[in-house]
Amino acid sequence: MNITLKQLEYFVALAEARNFGRAAAMVHVTQPALSVQIRELEDRLGAKLVERQPRDIVLTPTGHDVLRHAKQVLAEIQDLQGITRLRDGLSGRVSLGVIPTVAPYLLPVALPMLRGQNVNLDLRVRESRTERLMEELQNGTLDAAVVALPSDVHGLVEQPLFQDRFLLAGSIAQITKLAADPEALRPTTIDPDRLLLLEEGHCLSDQALEVCAMERSATRVDLSASSLATLCRLVAEGFGLTFLPEIALASECRAVPEMATLRFETPEPSRVIGLVRRKSSSGEGWFEKLAETLADAGRELLPAGDCGAGVPPRIKS
């Protein structure tokens, strides 16, 4: 008897959940039904794929190999279905991933624009960190993802959307003091003891460290947060300084009036936000249309005009 797609789907769910009960819930079957399919998959492959423990499972070396191939097969099937599903452009069901430092700001502007273009669009959004989004994109769970470029992942098509510059954010007193000292307006001159970052794993933290030419170990302030909103509240109370993406400027300044921001001297540090998809998936117009709309939404969130060269740093509060 041949291996079935259902067995591969159940095995991937088990590998991700690491528990038969949770995996069964993920694929909407009973635990005994999932266990039977996993055993049949092992029988057909002639190899043990998981080590069954009281409350957990561990993949065997063969299990890791099979998991990699199973994800590839399921991704190919997703692409095959997508050829038909998205043949009429940006319509039907589209699964989109967005990183957390972009999603709260871009989506409220972009979603009404997308719905206005096609009321029948079934857009399913997943907010997660870059590493997780790349995994879900490669295994076919997502059709596309909004991330900071370059993604450094093989086999993806990347479409830049907009440039997102970084501002320095802190309390009004701190930023007013820094604004009087031009030498302090360079990322590389920031005191590591005062720099607050998102917790490890957020790409924004890596980007901030890169522009400051720092290692994470150099930052000695024992404070980190899982969201930009939390960081903004911390720095507004004088606990340090942080980098605020321009896309979040208007929203966070409204929410935290005690916070002030300062533009760096040119060249301003920045990141490029882009849309990515698998090369193996068919564009068929939907990808370009989605990228165009997301780029338009991003431009609405950024200040009008060029505030780069020739414009002196300024405080926003």
Number of H helices, E strands in the chain: 11, 12
Q: Rounded to an integer, what distance in angstroms lies between the CA atom of residue 44 and that of residue 65?
A: 15
Q: Rounded to an integer, what distance in angstroms lies between the CA atom of residue 278 and that of residue 287?
A: 11
Structure confidence at residue 37 (pLDDT): 92
DSSP annotation of 29: S
Q: Which residues are CB-neighbours of 109 under 8 A, at least 6 positions away?
A: 297, 300, 301
DSSP annotation of 195: B
Query: At 248, phi and psi to the nearest 5?
Result: -100, 0
Rounded to the nearest 5 degrees, what angle is found at the Cα of 211, between the Cα atoms of 221 and 309? Answer: 125
Structure confidence at residue 179 (pLDDT): 84
Strand, helix or coil at 314? coil
Handedness of CA 228, 229, 232, 237 (dihedral sign): negative
Distances (CA, A) of 181 to 88, 157, 184, 192, 229: 56, 43, 6, 18, 27
Give the pLDDT band of residue 311 (cuts 50, 70, 90). Answer: very low
Structure confidence at residue 313 (pLDDT): 36
Q: Rounded to an integer, what distance in angstroms lies between the CA atom of residue 284 and that of residue 231?
A: 40
Which amino acid belongs to residue 311?
Answer: V
Q: Rounded to an integer, what distance in angstroms lies between the CA atom of residue 316 and that of residue 250?
A: 10
User: Which string of DSSP letters, residue by residue, matches 274-309?
Assistant: EEEEETTS--TTHHHHHHHHHHHHHHHHSPSS--ST
Handedness of CA 210, 216, 222, 226 (dihedral sign): positive
Q: What residue segments make up the domains of the chain, in order of their start?
A: 5-83, 88-162+273-301, 164-270
Taking the CB of residue 73, how many other CB atoms lie within 10 A of it?
16
Structure confidence at residue 73 (pLDDT): 84
- The class level of CATH for 5-83 reads mainly alpha
- The class level of CATH for 164-270 reads alpha beta
Q: Which two tokens stand for residue 152?
A: 């450094």
> Is domain 88-162+273-301 classified as CATH 3.30.830.10?
no
Strand, helix or coil at 160? strand
| Higher pLDDT, residue 298 or 86 | 298
User: Is pTM, for the whole model, over 0.75?
Assistant: no
Q: Is the pLDDT score of 102 beyond 90?
A: yes
Overall average pLDDT of the 41-65 stretch:
88
Q: Is the pLDDT score of 80 beyond 70?
A: no
Orientation angle between helical segments 5-17 and 31-45, nearest 10 degrees: 110
Q: Rounded to an integer, what distance in angstroms lies between the CA atom of residue 272 and that of residue 163?
A: 5
- Asked if 5-83 and 164-270 have one fold, the answer is no
